[in-house]
């Protein structure tokens, strides 16, 4: 953490050997450090597997991997919501028949 002003902080992180400063609230610093480390690991893992690719290509591949993981999790969440809605409707039907 470098600077603090009015509950705003400038967080210094390094991702793929690039130093970045991120403006955030003081409460978000630990989370942003964790995210930065995660993104750095994803990028470095791809670079180790494909060291001849340009930095831009490696970062784009990392973005695609992260987007894929996010989309898959969103689909799982959507399925869970659909299941819970269906289950709730069935419960309501059962309760209505009992009354």
Give the span between the Cα atoms of 47 and 53, in whole angstroms: 7
The reported pTM is 0.74
Kindly list the domain boundaries of the chain, sorted by start residue: 3-98
Give 10-residue mean pLDDT values along the chain (99 residues).
Answer: 69 96 90 96 96 96 95 90 87 81
The token duo for 76 is: 């799982």
What does the pLDDT read at residue 89? Answer: 87
Give the span between the Cα atoms of 42 and 56, in whole angstroms: 14
What does the pLDDT read at residue 8? Answer: 84
Q: Judge whether 39 and 15 are in contact, CB under 8 Å.
A: yes
Helices 55-98 + 29-49 axis angle, to 10: 120
């Amino acid at each position: 953490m470098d600077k603090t002003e009015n509950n705003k902080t400038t967080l210094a992180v390094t991702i793929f050997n690039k130093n970045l400063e991120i403006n955030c609230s003081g409460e978000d610093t630990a989370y942003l450090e964790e995210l930065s480390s995660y993104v750095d690991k994803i990028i470095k893992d791809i670079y180790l597997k494909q060291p001849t690719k340009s930095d831009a290509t490696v970062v784009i591949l990392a973005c695609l991997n992260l987007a894929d993981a996010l989309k898959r999790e969103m689909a799982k969440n959507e399925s869970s919501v659909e299941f819970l809605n269906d289950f709730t409707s069935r419960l309501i039907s059962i309760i209505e028949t009992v009354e």
